[in-house]
Structure 1
Amino acid sequence: MSLLLGFFTATIISTIPSQTGDWGILAGAIIVTCNESISKLIYNSHHNRINILNIINCVKIGIIYGLFVDAFKLGS
């Protein structure tokens, strides 16, 4: 369920900033910064079995997957 939520979030993230066209670089920087800080939080914690962190990680993976799928749609 979390992967699906992340996939839909990626669709929202990729369509809203692209309406103006000048927010692409800033939006990309924000997405990378958020993903890297979530990864640092998850993989540096000593309690890897916390359910909230696992859910957040699954949403993050869904966002990354959704952005890759959108990139392939734009490239074809």
Structure 2
Amino acid sequence: MFFNINILSLMLGFFFANILSTIPAQTGDWNIISGSVIVTFNEIVNKCVYSKNNIRNSILIKLVNNIKIGIVYGLFVDAFKLGS
């Protein structure tokens, strides 16, 4: 059961990456702000996941970490699509 939820959260992050890379870039004014929001979210999740506390075993933290990994993966795929 948890394997399916983990895969689903990865795909949700990939979907969010497509949203984050297309919608704010329509005007061209929001590129820096959306990039800073993504980096801030990434660092906050990294702090929660990789801290020395024992909250790493929480299912919610694992799901948010999988969404973060999906966002980063989706942004890399979009960058490769734009580069080719």
TM-score for the superposition, normalised by structure 2: 0.86
CA contact (8 A) 2:48 2:56 kept: no
| 1:50-65 correspondence to structure 2 within 5 Å | 50-65=58-73
Cα RMSD (Å) of the superposition?
0.9
- 2:14–2:71 CA contact under 8 A, matched in 1: yes
**How many percent identity over aligned positions?**
57
Counterpart residue number, 1:3: 10
Greater RCO, CA 8 A, separation 6+ = 1
Letter in 2 for 1:54: K
Match of 2:55 in 1: 47
- Could you tell me which runs of 5 or more consecutive residues in structure 1 were left unpaired when the two chains were aligned: none
The number of equivalent residue pairs is 76
Runs of 4+ in 1 over 6 A off after TM superposition: none
Matching residue's letter, 1:35? N
